[in-house]
Structure 1
Amino acid sequence: MKRIISKILSLVIMTGLLVISFTACGKSKDATSAVEDRVVLASEAFNREGIWFGFEDYVTKDEEIKYILVFDGKGNVTRYKTFKPYIDQARITFADLNGLSDEEIIELAKELDKLIFEEEIKEKISDGTYWIEELSRFVNNPDPDSPPEDRERLQESLDAALALESKMKEAVYQEPEAYPFTLKIETDGTGNQTSKEFLKYSYLDSDLDASGRFITDDLTMDEVNQWEAKIEKEDELDISPRSENMTVYDMQFSGFIHLVEIVGDKQPIYSFDSPDTEGIEVD
């Protein structure tokens, strides 16, 4: 009887040890899974090859992507304009990314950037037609009571308007270029912690606001000579991190407040850089 009791006690003890062992293994596995949700600093995120999508409100299937940033992993970024109001074809949403490869996304970005440029040129030429006709009417049928200097000014404006119209018709699309980017940090009151971080970069964009001036009667030839179809502009983007992934169909997005990338089945936790991070502007 004592032997039987002893065997039973041994089995109970062994069973208990096995339960504890399996429980410990389970906890170890969960901890490993949590560690895989790795923190990714902004500098690390942008210093590798990647495609990022700029937007305004929320990541949903119908949210419009305003621009696409392509990072080359060498400290440079290329910006493509992918949205223009009132141009139906110049629109891409997060839903449109479903099933596309990186190469297809970049090709789509190039197509939209080119389309938007061409449509903007057409729009400005069309807007100016009416005003060129009006200037021509005043020049060809001047007010007999108007002073000579007014007639000369109108003729100069008409000449400038026609010259700018011709220049715009000859404008050739220029594909976006890669520019170096920098990261800028603002610290808190202590000066030791990051309170804000910004992505700064340059990019080529159409200079069509200035070209709209030929619809007025004070355009000069100097302004026409200075006009270029595209000029270099700068952007400084707030990159406050987002705290969770966002889902559209079977795609997972994560990143920053107005800029995200596709992360697949990963769960990265994006974070500000610290003030002592190498190569970053501080305050």
Structure 2
Amino acid sequence: MRELFEDKLDFGDAISPFIEMAAYEAIWQRKETSFSRIANYFKKNPFLKPSDMVGEEELSGNLELARKIINELSQSDVPFGIRVHGEPNYPEKLRDAKNPVEVLYYQGNWNLIHSPSIAIVGARKVTDEGLKRTRKITRLLVEAGYTIVSGLAEGVDTMAHQTAIKVGGRTIAVIGTPLTQVYPKSNTELQSKIAKDYLVISQVPFARYSQQDFRINRSFFPQRNITMSALTEATIIVEASDTSGTLYQARAAIAQGRKLFILDSCFKNHEISWPDQYLKKGAIRVKEFSDIIENLE
């Protein structure tokens, strides 16, 4: 693994993941950096790489940081990799996002990114009925051949991942922390399992995350929902309040031209108003599992 990221200071035409990782981390050292600012820059300069945004001194100062991160991640037997926009293995479907990320980090089996996949998301403080619905919909989607994608949060996300594994399916976790962090801590074992046997993806810069307050780091979670939507064919919302972060993904799915499925139980909850709003925007109300399969086909 380490040999793959030896310093290659001859930039040439080839993309060096190691160099681009160091550049990405350097860009995020700037206080004003955000996903939208980076995305806007590359929209105006579509043929540039992260390394084109930083000077030699700024880049060299982050080469050692990148090496330390790679060494830490390489301590386990779990494959670690970097995907950079412009290289062959970067998922082009990410470009459908409003602010597509230029660099992704991952652990596990990258080939799963090419499998047919559905995101299942919802409330952290999910009801017992919501957990039952999550288990059922996950099992049926696995049986239909889909990879289950979620965000490794408490509640619906955790149940979706656990069920997919239990019934012999595939699962991908798109997380809102760096690969070296786990949130919530109670999912440490689950994240390790997914990284080892399936796939964990992160767009979160290691250094910036470690340097700033946890309250600021919360902004990385809705951003990962936008990426999760772009990586999948559709999103299914099991349960969510009017203020839930899940709605970031709902908005993203509509904007990206992805299918958005909302379980019928959400419409019957008179304490929330968002389901009807998204129905008007093109979401699909799910009363039977066939409502999902028929609309996907």
Q: Which has the higher strand share?
A: 1
Higher-RCO chain (CA-CA 8 Å, sequence separation at least 6): 1
TM-score for both structures, normalised by structure 2: 0.22
Q: Which has the higher helix share?
A: 2
